Amino acid sequence: MTDLFTRAERWLADDPDPVTHDELRALLDRRDEAALADRFDARLELGIAGLRGVLGAGPNRMNRAVVIRTTAGLCAYLLAKLPDAAERGVVVGYDGRHMSRRFALDTAAVIAAAGITAHVFEEVAPTPLTAYAVKHLRAAAGVMVTASHNPPEYNGYKAYWEDGAQIIPPQDEGIAAAIDAVPSVASVAREEHGARVKPVPAEVTEAYVTAVRALSPEQGRHTPLTMVYTALHGVGNALATLVLARWGVVHSVPEQSEPDGKFPTVAFPNPEEKGALDLSYALAKRVGADIILANDPDADRLAVAVPRGDGWAQLSGNDVGVLLGHHLLTEGDLSGDRLVAMSIVSSPLLGVIAKRLGVRCEETLTGFKWIANRAMEVEAATGARFVFGYEEALGYSVGSLVRDKDGVSAAYVAAGLASALKTKGETLSSRLEAIHREYGFFASGQRSVTARGADGMAAIAATMKAFRERPLTALGGLGVVATRDYQTGVRTDAGGAAAPIGLPPSNVIAYELEGGSRVMLRPSGTEPKIKFYFDVREEIAAGEAYAEGAARAQRKMQAAIEEFTRESQARGGL
């Protein structure tokens, strides 16, 4: 443990923040080995969504020292790879979380001192607006300080490349190496005030709003909606309510409309979590709303809820993805070679729809950076026009306006669809039923197991190892047609024939089942969890009540979840 204390003392001497300095000093004074090991035996790395972690002292926490070192590495890499990076600059945005503005100011100060222009939002900004600004200003890169929908004690740091998409290999690897080469925080120059720190022009937001308003196929006749919107104490309220007004009257949940890093009205600031939309439901009942639209705190995700019976029902991320994807593929500009993309853990239904309509469909690894970058690759190689991308965790991208998920533009298109359907006497629910009847019903579900600490990580690793050593052969009475191991990059069918998957390596295993069903497992990239995904395909017979077919699919899915849970526990204990 001597080495642990030595490393902590070195960090302490280099820490520019008196708050985290005092926190670490207290841990050292009381010789708290467990707490120190948690902070120093690992470090935050550029993962699925950049850096993300609990606020606090040490390399395995989000703090000013980590932000300064990371930005120094980013600047060194930019200057080495892009000759005009200094002139083009880096966009810096931030959300309303604790320390977000301080981290953004540190980021801008390091950028400016490196001789690079820093385009800094003067106020909090949604993540999609920051990503858009990178493209609009022709910047060399972008940084967004946010932990998205994580709990209040978290913060994070997302990096964008010059194309407006999140960094992927080799950029992340090159930046990580440049970070490692930073000798100390004290050695990193900072220039907080100077000619190279410039505010992002107001016209960037104006251009974004204009572009969003052009996205929906429904630009003609429509029936006004009564909408409820919530920003969940985040930064989406101003932009979202502005664009949504095109479709009717917007009632913003007042208790949640302003940024508040404490997130006082929700247990967890994620619109997927139980209870997160309770205030929205109450307001919707009072105003007689047609639809509820919710962004997460940095407004890159969208949740949608619809009337059902005497109450409200939240649509799943897959439901919204299928509704938006189908809408954009069957309305508006249907010309040319078109492309949709989705993550491997999203419902296969959009792929079925795309195939039927003769539209290209690409599957990518989990994380929207893969969707955006794959879309650009296919566009460049084939000339196809990217129409829509989504992942089941409430992330959607409409066209190429933003090369990341965008909860504001997705809300605009969703409301436009609901307005058009209302004109025809239909609803989002009735449209979803029609899609399921035509293309097949996919019941999708998840099971997540949280496993914290070193023991939890070991249990997750053991579970993945056990399934690789003893692959699944059947589930729910359905035989395994093929096994996909994304870590080795190989798909092996039941007869033993192997073929390359064609995606970057990732710790994911998928089992294709008879009839188009499947099960998948992967460790989370942002939380101490292992996640299991289930998709059960069921055909609804002509004349059969929709509720009966849906219930049958749900029963089969639940049985599959229970059976797979037993298999998982037998193999790895999770």
Q: Poorest-confidence range of 1-5, 6-10, 371-375, 409-413?
A: 1-5
Q: Is 255 within the bounds of a domain?
A: no
Is 171 within a domain?
yes
**Residue range 539-550: mean pLDDT, rounded:** 93
Of 64, 62, 89, the closest CA to residue 74 belongs to: 89
Q: Indicate if 388 and 446 belong to the same structural domain.
A: no
Whole-number pLDDT of residue 193: 85
Task: Please tell me the predicted confidence (pLDDT) of residue 457.
Answer: 87
Instruction: Find tokens 């914290």 and name the residue.
Output: 452
The pLDDT assigned to 82 comes to 97
- Average pLDDT for 169-178: 94
Query: How many residues are given for the chain?
Result: 574
Which residue is catalytic, options 100, 148, 343, 409? 148
Residue 496: pLDDT band (50, 70, 90) is very high
pLDDT in tens, 186-201: 999 999 888 999 999 9
- Find the mean pLDDT for residues 113-139: 98
In a shared domain, residues 390 and 445: no
Query: Looking at the structure, do residues 331 and 188 belong to the same domain, yes or no?
Result: no
Q: Of 315, 269, 274, which is closest to residue 291 (Cα–Cα)?
A: 315
Last residue of a domain, one of 405, 432, 460: 405
Q: What does the mean pLDDT of the chain come to?
A: 95
Query: Residue 159: which CATH number?
Result: 3.40.120.10
What's residue 574's pLDDT? 84
Residue listed under structure tokens 């009205």: 265
Residues 59 and 193 in one domain: yes
Query: Considering only 6-10, 56-60, 330-334, which range has the smallest mean pLDDT?
Result: 330-334
Query: Using CA atoms, how far apart are residues 446 and 557, in angstroms rounded to an integer?
Result: 10
- Choosing from 163, 185, 202, the residue where a domain stops is 202
Q: Is 80 exceeded by the pLDDT of residue 526?
A: no
Is there a single domain that holds both residue 345 and residue 458?
no
| For the chain, percent of residues with pLDDT exceeding 70 | 99
Shared domain for 50 and 188, answered yes or no, is yes
pLDDT of residue 219: 67
Question: How high is the pLDDT of residue 17?
Answer: 97
For residue 356, pLDDT over 80 is answered with yes
pLDDT at 218: 73
Q: What is the pLDDT of residue 528?
A: 82
Whose tokens are 């980590």? That residue is 66
Residue 563 pLDDT greater than 70, yes or no = yes
Whether 527 has a pLDDT exceeding 90, the answer reads no
Cα–Cα distance for residue pair 252/240, rounded to 1 Å: 10
Same structural domain, 466 and 397: no
For residues 195 and 138, state if they share a domain. Answer: yes
Domain coverage including residue 385: 318-405
CA distances from 512 to 439, 477, 481 (A): 19, 13, 5
Reported confidence tier of residue 453, pLDDT bands at 50, 70, 90: confident
Catalytic residue flag (residue 148):
yes
**Do residues 191 and 57 share a domain?**
yes
Which among 159, 183, 202 is the end of a domain?
202
- Answer yes or no: pTM beyond 0.85: yes
> 103-130 in b/e burial notation, b at 16+ Cβ within 10 A?
bbbbbbbbbbbbebbbbbbeebbbbbbb
- Asked if pLDDT for residue 1 goes beyond 60, the answer is no
Under a CB-based contact definition with an 8 Å cutoff, are residues 52 and 150 in contact? yes
Tell me the pLDDT band of 571, cut-offs 50, 70 and 90: confident
Exposure class string for 386-420: b at 16+ Cβ within 10 A, else e:
bbbbbbbbbbbbbbbbbbbbbbbbbbbbbbbbbbb
| 462/562 same-domain check | yes
Distance CA 93, CA 133 (A): 9
Q: What is the pLDDT of residues 203-219, one digit of tens each?
A: 999 999 999 999 988 76
- Looking at the fold, whether 394 and 446 belong to one and the same domain comes out as no
Q: Is 343 a residue whose pLDDT tops 60?
A: yes
CATH of the domain at 556: 3.30.310
Banded model confidence at residue 150, pLDDT cuts 50, 70, 90: very high
pLDDT at residue 93 greater than cutoff 90: yes
Q: Is 50 a domain residue?
A: yes
Query: What is the average per-residue pLDDT within 394-407?
Result: 97
**238 belongs to a structural domain:** no
Q: Is 227 among the domain residues?
A: no
- Total domain count for the chain? 3
What is the Cβ-side half-sphere exposure of residue 526, based on CA atoms within 13 angstroms? 19
Residue 100 lies in a domain: yes
* Residue 289 within a domain: no
Considering the domain architecture, whether residues 64 and 191 belong to the same structural domain is answered as yes
Q: Give the residue, 194 or 406, on which the prediction is more confident.
A: 406
Q: How many CA atoms lie within 13 A of 6 on its CB side?
A: 3
pLDDT in tens, 366-394: 889 999 999 999 999 999 999 999 999 99
413 in any annotated domain: no
Q: Pairing mode, if any, of strands 118-120 and 90-94?
A: parallel
